[in-house]
Structure 1
Amino acid sequence: MSWTTVSRRPGPSRPGRGVTGRDVVVLLVFVLIAAAVAALGTAVGIAQVDGWYARVPHVTWTPPDWAFGAVWTVLYLLIAVSGWLLWRRQAQGALVLYVAQLVVNALWTPVFFGGYPLIGVGALWIAVGIIVLLDLLVVATIATAWPVSRGAALLLLPYLAWILYASTLNWGDAVLISLG
């Protein structure tokens, strides 16, 4: 098979080709998937923000509640575009990790916010384990994406920074509530 044959094959993405209508549809699918993860978190967490979460102590570096929605809106958009870029590059290994981190991301909010009323502080410690796994999966996704799409990897850096910060918030709340 010659290089010419390889470079002309159909597929979701050959580097250097323009964006097609199919690409735009797939981008919208990535945005909808990210929005679904966000909606799940919102559905579970919104009632708890003014519930148990408002009544427990938090670490001093906890931002105001409104900041979470604003930050996550931008992050989910960046996450979606990153996934789309990986899809365009046919980066299967990075996409597997991408999907895994999205699944773990979707688990954290129900465990943290929804689990506390059911099992107490134990849910916060389980959430610590989940968010540490999320941290590791996002690092692995970035490392795997870097050789095939630096843009996709770079778009995940703000997400990684935020979840590392969120990890300290989760751990801090678990410690404070355990001691309280």
Structure 2
Amino acid sequence: MLKNKFISFLLFSLVTFSASFIGGLATISFKEPWYSLLNKPVFNPPDWIFAPVWTTLYLMMTIAIWVFWHNKNRDMNTVYIYFIHLVFNTTWSIVFFVFHNMILALFVLIILISLIVILIIRFNRVNIASSYLMIPYVLWCSFALILNFSLIILN
């Protein structure tokens, strides 16, 4: 049993952090000089904050789906929604930083936040800890939505 839990944690980590890796690669490769030249709102965080925040959020997401997975009341549709939400998570970085399309990125973010809220609700039905682990993520993405919208207005 312990071996299965360890393997499932590794697999969920691999999938979740793959989304992080792809999004990070897109950001690093295409961010500059475009992003530096944008007019930013006063509440725009410094660049150094994003890596530790996202690393923490991806770890919390991994733990949330892993705990959910090991609950006898889990359902596969929620797991599928989790995987779909990771696609939208990665897509935002590509749309925003690779294609420099802030408006489309805003719509991707709205879909992403909607999927996270759905996950929180579905996780809560099975394991409250999983839903609580997703709250900082939805809050950060909501802040990103405000930031994304502000960048559209200012540019």
Q: TM-score normalised by the shorter chain: which range applies?
A: over 0.9
The residue number in structure 2 matching 1:67 is: 49
Query: Which secondary structure does the structure 2 equivalent of 1:57 belong to?
Result: coil
Measure the CA separation in 2 of the matches of 1:148 and 1:32.
23
Letter of the 2:29 counterpart: A
1:170 equivalent in alignment to 2:141: no
1:126 to 104, 129, 135: 104
- TM-score between both structures, scaled by the size of structure 2: 0.94
Alpha-carbon RMSD across the aligned residues, in angstroms, is 1.2
Measure the CA separation in 2 of the matches of 1:61 and 1:47.
24
Bigger relative contact order, structure 1 or 2 (CA pairs below 8 A, ≥6 apart)? 2
The residue number in structure 2 matching 1:159 is: 137
Consecutive unaligned residues in structure 2, runs of 5 or more:
none
Alignment check: 8 A CA contact 1:35 1:76 kept: yes
Letter of the 1:130 counterpart: V
- TM-score between both structures, scaled by the size of structure 1: 0.81
* Larger Rg over CA atoms: 1
1:42 to 5, 16, 24: 24
Post-superposition offset of 1:93:
3.0
Letter of the 1:48 counterpart: F
Alignment check: 8 A CA contact 1:91 1:145 kept: no
Letter of the 2:50 counterpart: F
Measure the CA separation in 2 of the matches of 1:26 and 1:164.
29
Aligned length: 153
The residue number in structure 2 matching 1:95 is: 79
Consecutive unaligned residues in structure 1, runs of 5 or more:
1-18, 117-122
Query: Which secondary structure does the structure 1 equivalent of 2:45 belong to?
Result: coil
